[in-house]
Every structure is written in structure tokens, then in C-alpha cells.
Amino acid sequence: MKYKKMLLLFVTFVLVSCSATKKVVTILNYSTPLGAGENVEILGQGQKVPEKAKLIGHIKISDNWTRTVNCTYDVVIKEAQVQARAMGGNLLQITEHLPPGTKSTCHRMKLDVYLRE
């Protein structure tokens, strides 16, 4: 129980900290956070998730309704990978990707976080 409280506190800190994008994180299954050097694989929309991968949660990254400058595709992916590691995930699947357009200058994404053993 103590571990879950510490993880929740960490995730809350990450969400409230100052950043160029807005993150909404939903954790379905708690897992041990991964180290900063751990690889987090990215699967594109429609790519098949391995059968034994366990769904940990979801991440939604969008702009924060200001003129956000630092929200390129690479930056958004790196932010998602950092969040996935904090959740204990080593696999991200992009479920929705909205590129910059007339309504936003940012890449906006929804991703599922998995732990592949």
C-alpha cells in the first residue's frame, strides 16, 4: 500500500509540474517504475500489441491552451516515454495522433501503456 501511495504522489508531481504540454494519465494496473535508461518501444496506430503485453494505463498529451512552442512530435513522444517508465511500462501504442493544424500548433496524442514481459 505504501508503494502505491508513493507512485501516486510521483505521478501527481509529474502532472502538476511545469511543462510545455498538458498530460492526463490514467493508471489501471500498478507496476514498478522503470529506470531512465530503460527502452520504451513505440507502436503506431493499428500496429498489433504482443499477446502477453499487460495494459497498465493511458496517456493523453495535448497543448495547454497557450501558445506552446516545444511540442514537436519528438518532444511529445519523449514525454510519453518518460511517463510510461514512471508507470512501469516499456511499450507505448499510439491510439490517436492529431498533428498541428489550425486549432493547435502541437502534436496531440493518446497512447496506451503496456508492460511487455
The Cβ of residue 40 has, within 10 Å, a number of other Cβ atoms equal to 19
**CA angle 51-54-59, nearest 5°?**
120
pLDDT per residue, tens digit, the chain (117 aa), is 555 544 444 554 444 434 467 888 999 988 899 999 899 999 999 999 999 999 999 999 988 765 556 789 999 999 999 999 999 999 999 999 999 888 788 899 999 999 998
